[in-house]
Amino acid sequence: MTSRERVRRAFAHDIPDRVPIDYLANPDIDRRLKQHFGIPPGDDEALRQILHVDFLEIIPPYTGPQLHPPVADRKIDLWGIRTRWIEHSDGGYWDYCDFPLREAELEAVELWPMPSPDDFDYDTVRDLCRTYRHYYLMVGNPGAGDMINTAGMIRTPEQVLVDLMTDEPACLRFMDRKNEVQLKMLERTLEAARGEIDMLWLGEDLGTQRAPMISIDLFRKHIRPRHQPFVDLAKHFGIPVMIHSCGSSSWAFEDFIEMGITVVDTLQPEALNMAPGYLKRKYGDRLSFHGCISTAGVVATGTVEDTRTVVRQTLQTMMPGGGYAFSPTHMLQDNTPTENALAMYEEALKAGKYR
């Protein structure tokens, strides 16, 4: 099967030739895997082929102006979110900092520079789709439509939770302005792709390891109505929606189903009510799943055999009847031993065959 055929069949709860495979990794483990295989640092396609990856995100390049002035020792993205480099024993990472809209009121949020949907090169989309048409192609990512997480990066997570409970206009307007840009950008990307995109990927973080992050009432008041236009957009183009959510988030799955979402991503198995058996038993006939291989578990802390065992056990639980794609729960972290990452993908290919 082609990757497109394989994933479509799996997400339709039919039986493909093998479980679909996805790859998400931080820069250092990505560098080490490429070094292991003798692949040049920038050759993502070669690594995808070796790992038998089936998924690929199509991203129209940003061609607009610089929106935010540079700040020393900071990275600044299109939304004005700032990060700084933090060293740790396994290397380092870019951590969120400064939170420039932490105390901003509505007027300041209205004036905050944001990209225009016109600032992306949609002419490249069709060519990208043709070049990579052997993959299952997606638009969006965990940051598409994401509200609590992204607003927390520029306003602090604590403030955003207070804002949602108090209906703070400044925070809600930041979310709405960002969503307006992303929704239009995704629409124009799908138009440019002319039917070659297979899925829209939507995001939000709704849980901690132990509990929901917000109440179901607050989710239905502020989050669900802002996600629904993205789901409706996908429906207009005849493609399914996958939603990313970290932590304990199965409490929202019934709402996802009502909204028209058919695939759930991340699936941290150590979080409350997120164990593979529980998810498969309760939702396996109504949702498909993408993830479930914890980047905080034995892949990072165990042995090669521990890793192979967890992969086999997860596949045995999630594969029956289709409806599952193998993936790390998040980006593979830099504390992941190279040999464990290799074992993870080797075992997925070996144990993930249906016939």
pLDDT at 292 (0 to 100): 97
Which tokens belong to 270? Answer: 């150590």
Report the run of H or E that residue 326 belongs to, with start and end: strand 324-328
Q: Is residue 142 part of a domain?
A: yes
Question: How many Å apart are CA 216 and CA 218, to the nearest integer?
Answer: 5
Q: Is residue 71 part of a domain?
A: no
pLDDT at 355 (0 to 100): 78
Which tokens belong to 226? Answer: 């802002």
Name the β-bridge partners of 265: 244, 290
DSSP string, 69-122: ---TT-EE-TT--EEEEEEETTEEEEEEE--TTTT--HHHHHHS----GGGB-T
pLDDT digits (tens, 9 = 90+) for 200-220: 999 999 999 999 999 999 999
C-alpha distance from residue 125 to each of 60, 69, 129 (Å): 6, 29, 6
Q: Is residue 75 part of a domain?
A: no
What's the pTM? 0.97
Q: Is residue 25 part of a domain?
A: yes
pLDDT at 90 (0 to 100): 84
pLDDT digits (tens, 9 = 90+) for 286-342: 999 999 999 999 999 999 999 999 999 999 999 999 999 999 999 999 999 999 999
Q: Which stretches of the chain drop beneath a pLDDT of 50?
A: none
Q: Is residue 248 part of a domain?
A: yes
Q: Residues 61, 127: contact at Cβ < 8 Å?
A: no
For residue 302, count other CB atoms closer than 10 A to its CB: 16
Question: How many Å apart are CA 40 and CA 48, to the nearest integer?
Answer: 13
The CA radius of gyration of the chain, in Å to the nearest whole number, is 20
Domain range enclosing 238: 3-65+103-351
pLDDT at 72 (0 to 100): 97
Q: Is residue 222 part of a domain?
A: yes
pLDDT at 91 (0 to 100): 84
Q: Is residue 70 part of a domain?
A: no
CATH number at residue 149: 3.20.20.210
Q: Is residue 91 part of a domain?
A: no
Q: Residues 52, 342: contact at Cβ < 8 Å?
A: no
pLDDT at 48 (0 to 100): 98
175: helix, strand or coil: helix
pLDDT at 149 (0 to 100): 95
Number of structural domains (the chain) is: 1
